Structures are given as C-alpha cells and as structure tokens.
Structure 1
Amino acid sequence: MKALDIYDWFAIAGYFLILAGIVVWVIRKKQSNTEDYFLAGRNVGWFVVGASIFASNIGSEHVVGLAGAGAGDKLPMLIYEIQAWVVLILGWVFLPFYARSGVFTMPEFLEKRFDARSRWVLSVFSIIAYVLTKISVTIYAGGIVVSALLGINFWTGALSTVILTGIYTVLGGMRAVVYTETLQAIILVIGAAALTFIGLGEVGGWASMKETVTPEYLNMWRSASDPDFPWPSLLITSTIVGIWYWCTDQYIVQRALTAKNIKEGRRGTIFGALLKLLPVFLFLIPGIIALTLKMRGELHWDSPDEAFPVLMSNLLPSGLRGLVAAGLLAALMSSLASVFNSCSTLFTVDIYKKLRPNTPEKKLVRTGQIATVIIVIIGIIWIPIMANISGVLYEYLQKVQSYIAPPITAVFLLGIFYKRINAHGAFVTLVVGFIVGALRIILELFKDSLDPGGFLFLVGDINFLTFAAWFFLFCVVLITVVSFLTSIPSKIKTDNLTFQTISEEEKQNNKNSYNWVDIAVSILVVILVAGVMIFFNGR
C-alpha cells in the first residue's frame, strides 16, 4: 500500500467540505414531523431517487467484497450484481401498490394487507436482519478500507466513520441521506471507473488479462453439480433474494417512497436499474485485474478482500487516488446512513408509535434518533462473530440474505398477486420461516461439532443456494396451505380485498405515470443484463 500524499488529502478534504455543506443546508430545513424526517417530505425527484437507490446498495461491502469475489474465484456471485431487471419490478409492479396504500414502511404495508401480527414480526425481524447483514458488514468492510487507505488501526477507522455518519444521519434525517448519497454515487462512479480504465491498461487489455487468469475463470455459470455455485440454484436463489431486497426491503423501498409522485418514483427506479449495471465494471473487474497482477508477481495482497484498496493505492496517480479514497469513504457512509435511517424508521413507526399512538411528532423523531445509536452499538458487537461464517465478505452477505429472503418474498408476492392468501398464512410463514433461517445459520456455524451422518449436519452442510431454493418452495406451500385451511373475519376479508382492488381512476392515473421512453429504457436494461450474462460464460 502506498501512503496518501498532500494532493490526495486535498481531494478527501474537498469531498468532506461539500458533504458538510449539504448536511448544513438540509438541517436548516424543517424536520418537525415524521414525514419530513423519515421520507424527506415525499418531495424528491427521479434523479435523486435513482442515485440514492444505487448509493444505498453499493456500499463498501460491495467495493471490498465484490472485488474480493473477482479476485477469489467466486465469479458466480456476479449474478447478484446484474439484478437491474429486478429493480424494474419494484417500479413497475410493487411501487403502485405501496404508493396507493400511503405507507411509510413495509411492515405497515403488511398490516394493511393482512393484520398487525405480520407487521410486528417483520418489524422486529427486519431490525435484527439489518444488524446481521447491513450494519455489521458495512462497518467491517469500512474498517478494512479506512485502515488500508489511511494507515490507521482497523477499529479506529471503522468507529470514527460510524460516528461521523451517525451524526449527520441523526441530525438531517432522510433528506440528508438522499442528497448526500447523490454526491457519493457520482464520486464513487468516477473514481472506480478511472481505476478500471487504468487497471485494464496496466494488464495489457481485456484479452491479455483473460489469457493470464484463463477463460474458465471468467465463467459465472458452473455446472449443476458444482459444490459451491450450481447454476440452477444460483439462478433461483438470486432471484428470490433480489425480489426481497429490491422490492420488499425497507432499506431500498424507502428511497422510492420519498418521490413526489409515482411517476418520479418509477423513473427513479428505472434510473437506479441503469446505475445497477455499473458495479460489474467498477468493482468486479478491478478484482480480476488485481488477481492478474498478483499472478504476474506485480502486486501482492493476503486476502481477496484487500484486492481493491491495494490495487487503487498502487495504480492511481496522486490526487485521483485521494478522490477514489473519498469515493470508498462515501460508499461506506452512504450505506451506513441508509441503514441507520431505515432502522430508526422501522423502530419509530412500526414499534414505538404502535405502542404509544398519541406520541407527538417531535418526540417520535427523537425516539428514532436514539434507536439508531443503540442499533449501531449492537452491529459493532456482532462484527467479530461474522468472520466465522464465511471467508469472503460478499459471500457472507449473500449467505445470510439467502436465509432471510424466502419467507418475506413468499408473503409479499402471494399477498399482492393472490387474494386468497390470508393473515393466518402470512403470520405462520413469517414466524416459521425466520425460525428455520436462524436454525440454518446456527447449524452452519457449529456443523463441525455435529454427527456427519445426522439430519442436523445435512441441514447445516447443504449448499446455501440449494437450501434457499427449497426453503422458498416450502414457504410458498406453507402460506398457501395455512390460508386454505383457515378463515378470517368478514370485515378483515372485505378490507383486504378492497385494498387489492384498483378503481378505474387509479388504473388511468397509473397509465398516465409513464410514457414510451420509460418503457424503452426498461427494455434496454433487460437486454443489457442478458448481454452481461452471455458475456461471462468462460469462452
């Protein structure tokens, strides 16, 4: 690792000055009620919505972990990064339901569709899931980045960034999050694109790099019998996780809900889908470049997760290196800011306000701020435990998400598209699903101490992609069977069916919210995704 020089520090200082200016501007605006604080007053345009969706998704765990996947022979993980077509499903299919219901949170949506039990279960579980997947992973990855770039202790780098991000998130709320994320997305794209371009030049171009790592290495499609990434399970599970993450998770959907109207929200998701195609070229390929240089003896790193910061430090010129460092810090901060705000929204709106419905708006905002601090502390405590689950950071993230996603995806999909699904089915599926997911994580952690011939060892040892695919099928069957075997009170049944029925006026408003450009760009996104899938076939 090369140390940063004076020009690099100027670039980093410039970034933080602009960031501080945005935060001060936001704080001076009113934040007196929950709609202002948690949804930026529902007055955000499509460009900011799309940039915020992208920046929320692309955190330091992607920068570090996706490059690590490219450097560590885990190219099939790429499939999680070409899910731009699933982002389109959010805008075209799910968003009209969410917008029409006027909800703040996804658990609140479940209460309107089913009952309060499902809301409670999803609220509590979502907060736990954020600690397991988003907060701890982001802080851990951020610590790697900051310590490598600035030459400081891991914990010092991680905690200082967490505290800085926490301050502006607590003070500025959702408006501070979405506007700073727009800046961070721009810096991240410019910096990582420069690294990819310079890196390809350093290895002699794509053909030379392909020759060094071999064409087989660049194949994201493994055989159905592959022990790590069997392609049928990979395709099915990545889709299940994608629908959960992009279409039903508070962390992402909250950005679309900040839009002025459904037209701006949908266009924001289309723009976000276009941006979602970039990580392949911005982060995965630099990981492969780093591996190429290591194989040639021109670069050294110990862990694949170090590939991106080491490559950046050694290849980029003075000044630009500082800009990319700022971009990496931006990635860390944008992810943390997003999850901080989402956690405070879930706790305040879905838990605290339900328990104390007469609480004044200002006190609700204060409650969300306090909840954020507590959740961050819990996330920090979880970091050392993380390392036991998987060697590569990005794979850890996908593993845990594969155990979380199936029950939630089943409940939302069938809840929206099948009127016969009732509150009992949703509640049972969520509870049983979360117990099974937790059991799988525990068994995976302790499988070495289990009897190799026993059932528990089999459950803990089965490929995580195959497990998730069968788990989803189990959840679909469970919610359907329970719904058919139980009945619900006539009033709830009537309310739910009314909620699902779209009036002619609403149909017309939805039709007027898009034009041929929106359709054309959406089709282009699908074509580009197919093109990437075909390109990385090892030939």
Structure 2
Amino acid sequence: MQTLDTLDWITISIYFAILLGIAIWVINKKQSNTEDYFLAGRNVGWFVVGASIFASNIGSEHVVGLAGAGAGDKLPMLIYEIQAWVVLILGWVFLPFYARSGVFTMPEFLEKRFDARSRWVLSVFSIIAYVLTKISVTIYAGGVVVSALLGIDFWTGALGTVILTGLYTVLGGMRAVVYTETLQAIILVIGAAALTFIGLDKVGGWESMTQTVGPEYLDMWRPATDPDFPWPSLLITSSIVGVWYWCTDQYIVQRALTARNIKEGRRGTIFGALLKLLPVFLFLIPGIIALTLKMRGELHWDSPDEAFPVLMSNLLPSGLRGLVAAGLLAALMSSLASVFNSCSTLFTVDIYKKLRPNTPEKKLVQTGQIATVIIVIIGIAWIPIMANISGVLYEYLQSVQSYIAPPITAVFLLGIFYKRINAQGAITTLVVGLILGAVRITLEIVKDSLDSDGILYMLGDINFLSFGAWFFLFCIVLIVVVSLLTPAPAHEKTDNLTFQTISEVEKRNNKTSYNWKDIAVSVLIVAIVAWVMIFFNGE
C-alpha cells in the first residue's frame, strides 16, 4: 500500500475545511425547537433529501464490504445494492401516510395507527439494533479504512472519526447532518467513479477482466439448491429487508420527513433511488478489478475487505487519491452522523417526551444533544467486541438484518394496506417476532455445541436467507390471525392511515404532488434495475 503524499493531504484538508464551514454555518442558525433540531425545520428541498438518503445509506461498511463481496466471490450480495425500486416505494406508497400523520418518528406512526405499546417496543428495539448493527459496524469499518489510508493505528482512526462526527451532530442537529451529507455524497461519487474508470483501463477493459475471473464469476443468481445463496430465498428476503430498511426505518425515513412538502419529499426519494443505482458501478466493480489484478499478480491483499483501500492507494494518482480518501472518510462520517441523530430523535421524542410530556422545546433539544453524546460513548465501548467479529463484514450485516426485518416489515405493510389489522395483532407480531429473531441469532452463535440431529441445531443452521423468507410468512399469518380473533380497530386509528380509508380530499391532494416527469424517471429506474439483474447472470 502506498501512503498519502503532500498533495493528498492538501486535498483532504480542503475537504475538511469546507465541511467545517458548512457545520459552523448550520450551528449558527437557530435550533430552538425539536422540529428544527430533529427534522431541519421540515424545510429541505428534493436535491438535499435525495443526496442525504444516499449518503446515509452508503457508509464505509458498504464501500469496504461491497468491494469485498466483489473480490470474495459473494456476487449475490449485489441484490441488496440494486434496491432502488424499494426507495421508490418509500416515496410513492409510504411517505404520503407519514407526512399526513405529521410524525417525527416511525414508532410515533405506529402509535397513531395502533397504540402506545407498539411505539414503546419499536423505539427501544430500534435503539438497541442501531448500536448492535449500524453504529458498531460503521465504526469498525471506519477504523479499518482510516488506519489503512492514513497509516495510523486502528484505535486512533476510529476514535478520531467518531469524536469529530459526534461533535457536529450534537451541535448542528439534523440540518448539519443533511447539508454535510450532500457534500459527502458528491465527493464520494466523483472519487469512486474515477477509481472505477482508471481500474477498468488498468485491467484492459470489461472483456479482459471477464476473461481473467471467468464469466461464471459474474453470476449473481445461484441455483435454488445452493447452500449459501439460493436464488428464491435471496430474492424474497432481500426484498423484505429492503422494505424494512428503506420504508420503515427511522434512519432513512427521517431524511424524507425533512422535506418541505410531499412533492419535494417524493422527488427526493426518486433522486435517492437514482443515486442508489451507482454503488454497483462505484464499489462492486472495483472489488472485481482488485481480484483481477491479484489473479494476474499485479496487486496483493490478504482479506477481501482490504480490496478497495489497496486498489485506491495503488492505482490513483497523487491528489485524486486524497479526494477518494476524503470520500471514504465522508461515507463513514455521514453514516455515523445519521445514526447518531436518529438515535437521539428516537430517545428524545419517543421515550423522554412520552415520560415527561410537558418538557419545554429547548429542554428537549438539550436532551437530544446529551443522548447523542451517550450514544457516541456506547458506540466507542462496543468497538473491541466488533473487532472480534470475523468474516465478510457486509454478509454479517445482512444476516442480522434478515432476523430483524420480518416482524417490523409485516406490521408496517399490513398496517397500511389492510385496515382490519389492529393493535393486538401488531404488538403480538412485534414481540414474538423480535424474540424469535434473538433466539435465531443466539442459536447461530452456539450451534456447534448443540446436538446435530436436534430441532434447535436445525433452526440455527438453516440458511439465513431461507430463514428470513419463512420467518416473514410466519409474521404475516400471526398478525392476520390475531387481528381477526380480536375486535376491529376504531375509526380514528385507520382514517387516512390505510389505503382503504383515504378521504377524497387527500386523494386529490396526492394527485397534485407529482407529474409525468416523476413517473417517467421512476419507470426508468425500475428498468435499469431489471437490466442489472439480467446482465449479472454469468452468461
């Protein structure tokens, strides 16, 4: 690995100076109430909403992990990255309901549709899940990237980044997060695009690369009998996880809720979906390029997760290397900033404000800032545990999400599409589903000490994608059966909150919030997703 030179450091310094300028400008604006601090005053345009959705999603674990999947024969994981069509579902299906209800958080929406119990369960669970998956994985991947790029040790890199990100998130709130993310998305796209073009040129183009790795390597569809990635389970479970992540998770939806109206919010999600098509070309292909160069003996790395940093440091010229390094740091910081802000929003709005409803707005903003600081400290404390988790990072993340997503996806989907679903069905599915998800994770960890003929071993050993698909079906049946066996929900719990109860006025309002251009771009995005699925079939 080549280390960064003077020109690279100048590029990184300029980037941080601009970032600091944006953060200071935002911090100086008023942050007197919760709407201002947690949702940027609900006054953000579509470009910033879309860039923020993209930057929140593309963390360093994506950059490192997706390139690692490309370099480590895990191409089926690509399906998680071509979910632009699911981002469209957020804008076209879910967002109008969220915006109409005027909520800050997803648990708050569940209370409006069902009852306070569902809100409590989702709030507490979401915060725990963020620490276990998003914060810890992002900090760990960030430490790996920063130490590899800047030539410093893992701990210094991880701690420096966490503290710096925590600082502007605490002081600037959501507005600081969305505006800094817009800059970070632009830097990351320019830097990674440059690496892809230079890399393809270095390996002699697409055809030459395909000949080296073999056309079958580029096949994301494995047989239904494949032990790792059976295609039916891959397609179903990735879609379930996609709806949970893109349409019901505070981390992403909070960005769409900052928009000044439904029209800007929907356009933001369409723009975010368009950007979501890029990771395949920006991160996965560099991983395959790194593998090609390794097979030809022109590059060396030990673990697939090192593919992207090693390729970047060896291929890019001085200055541009600094820009991509800045982009990687940007990806890490934007993901961390998003999850810090989402955690503090969930804690302040869904837990603290619920327990103390008469708290003044200014006190709530201060509570949110203190919550962010505590979450930063917990995240740092979790790093040593994360450092012990081996295997390809990206696969670890997807397997855990396959156990978290089914009950939450079932509750939100049926809650909006079927008015007969009631509070009893929702709370039963959330509690039973989350307990089963925790049991599955535990069994997976301890399965080697279990009797290989027993049912517990079988539950712990079943492919995570197949488990996710069957688990979702179980949750759907459970919520429907419990709801039908208990009284129907009251009208105020369903009016304008389900497809069957939207008023004529709301239908007219919704029709004026989009035009033929929005529809055309959405259709184009779906067509590109279909093309990528057909292209990566190894033939």
Matching residue of 2:376? 376
Matching residue of 1:67? 67
Letter in 2 for 1:168: Y
Cα distance between partner residues in 2 of 1:379 and 1:408: 24
Cα distance between partner residues in 2 of 1:153 and 1:387: 13
Cα distance between partner residues in 1 of 2:451 and 2:378: 33
Q: TM-score, normalised by structure 2?
A: 0.98
Q: CA deviation at 1:479?
A: 0.5
Cα distance change of structure 1 residues 414 and 528 upon mapping to structure 2, 3 Å threshold: same
Q: CA deviation at 1:471?
A: 0.3
Q: CA deviation at 1:260?
A: 0.5
Q: Deviations over 1:276-322 (max 9, x none)?
A: 00000000000000011111111111111010000000000000000
Q: CA deviation at 1:456?
A: 1.1
Matching residue of 1:225? 225
Q: CA deviation at 1:390?
A: 5.2
Matching residue of 2:280? 280
Matching residue of 2:314? 314
Cα distance change of structure 1 residues 317 and 267 upon mapping to structure 2, 3 Å threshold: same
Letter in 1 for 2:318: S
Cα distance between partner residues in 2 of 1:289 and 1:221: 20
Matching residue of 2:330? 330
Matching residue of 2:482? 482
Q: CA deviation at 1:329?
A: 0.2
Letter in 2 for 1:221: W
Q: CA deviation at 1:371?
A: 1.3
Matching residue of 1:303? 303
Whether 1:199 and 2:199 are equivalent positions in the alignment is yes
**Is contact 2:496–2:503 with CA below 8 Å preserved after alignment?**
no
SS of the residue aligned with 1:186?
A: helix
Matching residue of 2:213? 213
Cα distance between partner residues in 2 of 1:315 and 1:70: 18
Letter in 1 for 2:95: L
**Is contact 1:112–1:499 with CA below 8 Å preserved after alignment?**
no
Cα distance between partner residues in 2 of 1:27 and 1:377: 22
SS of the residue aligned with 1:498?
A: coil
Q: CA deviation at 1:366?
A: 1.1
Q: CA deviation at 1:384?
A: 3.8
Cα distance between partner residues in 1 of 2:399 and 2:293: 29
Matching residue of 1:8? 8
Q: What root-mean-square deviation, in Å, do the aligned CA atoms of Structure 1 and Structure 2 show? A: 1.0
Matching residue of 2:494? 497
**Is contact 1:113–1:499 with CA below 8 Å preserved after alignment?**
no
Q: CA deviation at 1:497?
A: 2.6
Cα distance between partner residues in 2 of 1:454 and 1:388: 29
Letter in 1 for 2:517: V
Which one is further off, 448-457 or 136-145? 448-457
Q: CA deviation at 1:387?
A: 5.6
**Is contact 2:140–2:387 with CA below 8 Å preserved after alignment?**
no
**Is contact 1:389–1:444 with CA below 8 Å preserved after alignment?**
no
Q: Which structure 1 segments of 5+ residues have no match? A: none
Matching residue of 1:509? 509
Matching residue of 2:346? 346
Q: CA deviation at 1:382?
A: 3.1
Cα distance between partner residues in 1 of 2:496 and 2:520: 31
Q: CA deviation at 1:388?
A: 5.9
Letter in 2 for 1:242: G
Whether 1:253 and 2:250 are equivalent positions in the alignment is no
Q: CA deviation at 1:375?
A: 2.0
> Residues 432-447 of structure 1 correspond to what in structure 2 (within 5 A)?
432-447=432-447
**Is contact 1:389–1:445 with CA below 8 Å preserved after alignment?**
no
Q: TM-score, normalised by structure 1?
A: 0.98
**Is contact 2:163–2:376 with CA below 8 Å preserved after alignment?**
no
> Residues 48-87 of structure 1 correspond to what in structure 2 (within 5 A)?
48-87=48-87
Cα distance change of structure 1 residues 142 and 226 upon mapping to structure 2, 3 Å threshold: same
Cα distance between partner residues in 2 of 1:405 and 1:463: 16
**Is contact 1:70–1:284 with CA below 8 Å preserved after alignment?**
yes
Matching residue of 1:398? 398
Cα distance between partner residues in 2 of 1:90 and 1:426: 21
Alignment coverage as a number of residue pairs: 536
Matching residue of 1:269? 269
